Amino acid sequence: MNAIVISAIWGVVMMFSGIFSKNNTVIRGTALTGLALLILVNILEMNGVLLFKVNLHGMLYFDSFNLLFNTIAFGSTFLYAILSGRDMEKVGRSVSDYFALIFFILCGVAISSSFNTLLMLFLGIEIMSIPLYILTGTDKRNLKSNEASLKYFLMGSFSTGLMLMGITLIYGAKGSFNLETISLGTGALTPMVSAGLLLLLFSMSFKVSAAPFHFWTPDVYDGAPTVFTSFMATIIKSAAFIAFLRLFDDAFGEMHPHWQLVVSIVTAATLLIGNITAVFQQSVKRMLAYSSIAQAGFMMFALVALNNLGRQGLIFYTAAYSVATIGVFAVLIKMKDYTFEGFNGLAKRQPVLAATTAIFLLSLAGIPGTAGFMAKFYMLAAAVSNGHVMWLVIVGVLCAAISVYYYFRVIQAMYFKEGDAQEMEVSSIFKALLVIMAAIVVLLGLFPQWLLDKLNYFF
**243 half-sphere exposure, CB direction, 13 A CA radius:** 34
What burial letters (b/e) apply to 266-289, b meaning 16+ CB within 10 Å? bbbbbbbbbbebbeebeebbbbbb
CB 437 within 8 A of CB 230: no
Q: How far apart are CA 233 and CA 288, in angstroms?
A: 9
Side chain identity at 284, as an amino acid letter? V
23 phi and psi, to 5 degrees?
Answer: -85, 115
Integer-rounded Cα radius of gyration of the chain? 21
Side chain identity at 323, as an amino acid letter? V
Instruction: Tell me the per-residue pLDDT of 3-57, one tens digit each, with 9 for 90 and over.
Output: 889 999 999 999 888 888 778 888 899 999 999 999 999 888 888 888 888 877 8
**227 half-sphere exposure, CB direction, 13 A CA radius:** 21
Instruction: Tell me the per-residue pLDDT of 317-347, one tens digit each, with 9 for 90 and over.
Output: 988 898 999 999 888 888 878 888 888 888 8
| More confident of the two residues 185 and 233 | 233
What residue numbers bound the domain in which 89 lies?
Answer: 1-457
Looking at the DSSP assignment, which residues form a beta bridge with residue 339?
283
Average per-residue pLDDT in the chain? 88
55 phi and psi, to 5 degrees?
Answer: -75, 110
- Sign of the CA dihedral 236, 240, 241, 245? positive
Side chain identity at 362, as an amino acid letter? L
Tally of CB atoms within 10 A around 59: 16
124 pLDDT band (50/70/90 cuts)?
very high
Q: How far apart are CA 277 and CA 293, in angstroms?
A: 10
Q: How far apart are CA 2 and CA 45, in angstroms?
A: 8
Mean pLDDT of 427-446: 89
Burial (0-12, 13-18, 19+ Cβ within 10 Å), 386: buried
pLDDT of residue 421: 61
CB 330 within 8 A of CB 83: yes
pTM of the model: 0.90
CB 213 within 8 A of CB 125: no
Q: How far apart are CA 414 and CA 286, in angstroms?
A: 18
Q: How far apart are CA 452 and CA 411, in angstroms?
A: 30
pLDDT of residue 127: 92
Mean pLDDT of 259-271: 92
The total of structural domains in the chain comes to 1
| More confident of the two residues 92 and 321 | 321
Instruction: Tell me the per-residue pLDDT of 54-69, one tens digit each, with 9 for 90 and over.
Output: 877 888 888 888 888 8
Instruction: Tell me the per-residue pLDDT of 352-399, one tens digit each, with 9 for 90 and over.
Output: 999 999 999 999 998 998 999 999 998 999 989 887 888 999 999 999
Q: How far apart are CA 436 and CA 213, in angstroms?
A: 36
